[in-house]
Amino acid sequence: MEDLDFWNWVILAVVLTPFIFGFALVGLQRKVLVRHPASGIVKNGYVGWSWSYLVFGWFVPVYRGEIAVGLFHFVLTCFTFGLFQIIMSFLYNKQYMTRLLTEGWVLADSEENNTYAMDKLNIVRFNPHP
């Protein structure tokens, strides 16, 4: 019976490892509002470790409107037997926000959240007058 208890703890540790590393290394997922200047549409962007991607995988990009990205992630998740999903939980929010910002969306949240997002996304503020 003791061996069964040991293996239960090992399995639990393996299952919880992405959550532990996600919280410790990257931080919690944080919502940041973004706005499209031409249309005025406001939507949520996210920075930090994506617990939602870890749990729901390729459904997250599909839900956020990135159908092609979601299908691509589905194929890679199947091909890697789920390892891709664990790795992408650390990368997806940054890639999503980078795609939004390069498509013309701008940060439109509080100064604190915008600064936090800029730090996480490695955005440098341009100062034309040094």
Total domains present in the chain? 1
| Cβ proximity of 22 and 89 under 8 Å | yes
> What domain range includes position 58?
2-120
Does any domain span residue 130?
A: no
Predicted TM-score (pTM) of the model is 0.76
Does any domain span residue 114?
A: yes
The tens digit of pLDDT for each residue in 58-73 reads 999 999 999 999 999 9
Does any domain span residue 126?
A: no
Does any domain span residue 48?
A: yes
Does any domain span residue 59?
A: yes
pLDDT of residue 96: 96
Measured between alpha carbons, how far is 116 from 6 in angstroms, rounded to an integer?
41
3-state secondary structure of 29: coil
Does any domain span residue 125?
A: no
Measured between alpha carbons, how far is 96 from 15 in angstroms, rounded to an integer?
25
Does any domain span residue 127?
A: no
